[in-house]
Amino acid sequence: MGQNERDDDKTSGEERLEGEELLVEEGEIAGDYLEQLLDIFDYDGDIDLDVEGDRAVVSIEGGGDLDRLVGRKGEVLDALQELTRLAVLQQTGVRSRLMLDVAGWRARRRDELTESGLEVAKRVAESGTSEELSPMTPFERKVVHDAVATVDGVFSESEGVGSSRRVVVLPR
């Protein structure tokens, strides 16, 4: 291995560290923003910051009031996540892909969607007939696509526009 190759490896290692440092910074900005919101609402909650893959993950755990921050079908949570991303953008100048979870709702939803996606995929593999799921958010569709991808003999596509966008599971 030549000197230039070693330098390239060192540089890419430093860039990865820089990337992780940026994600940690995003998480800290998001945590500060969310702490202020919790204070305004007079809600008790503990904020946990993490980095998973290429995104910051911020979780709020605590009392029963937090369910109000999730809303019906996670609509309030999605809006709060977007506001938090905007707060990070305002301070860093970089569009964030951070994921926000409140009271474990998104984690439970991921498990439900994974199970549902696997069930549909197995039915389609056995029957040879495609199935269309209900409209979902981008987060929900990705979880289902990932689950379907683990089953042989089927694949999935997204169809529709906007809030009517849904996953369709098809036989190969």
* Angle between the N-to-C axes of helices 75-92 and 3-41, in degrees from 0 to 180, rounded to the nearest 10: 120
Are 126 and 160 contained in the same domain?
yes
Whether the per-residue pLDDT at 39 is higher than 60: the answer is yes
Q: How many CB atoms are located within 10 Å of the residue 58 CB?
A: 25
Indicate the pLDDT class of residue 8, thresholds 50, 70 and 90. Answer: very low
Note the pLDDT of residue 152.
97
Tell me the three state secondary structure of residue 51: strand
Indicate the pLDDT class of residue 53, thresholds 50, 70 and 90. Answer: confident
Whether the per-residue pLDDT at 6 is higher than 80: the answer is no
Are 166 and 115 contained in the same domain?
yes
Are 17 and 85 contained in the same domain?
yes
Q: How many CB atoms are located within 10 Å of the residue 155 CB?
A: 15
The whole model's pTM is what? 0.77
Are 75 and 153 contained in the same domain?
no
The CATH number covering residue 27 comes to 3.30.300.20
Tell me the three state secondary structure of residue 130: coil
Tell me the three state secondary structure of residue 103: coil
According to DSSP, residue 54 is labeled T
Are 98 and 118 contained in the same domain?
no
Give how many domains the chain has, as a whole number.
2
116 close to 45: Cβ distance less than 8 angstroms: no
Residue 119, both tokens: 């069930």
71-123 pLDDT, tens digit per residue, is 988 999 999 999 999 999 999 998 999 999 999 999 999 999 999 999 999 99
| Closest of 151, 41, 30 to residue 92, by C-alpha | 30
Are 98 and 122 contained in the same domain?
no
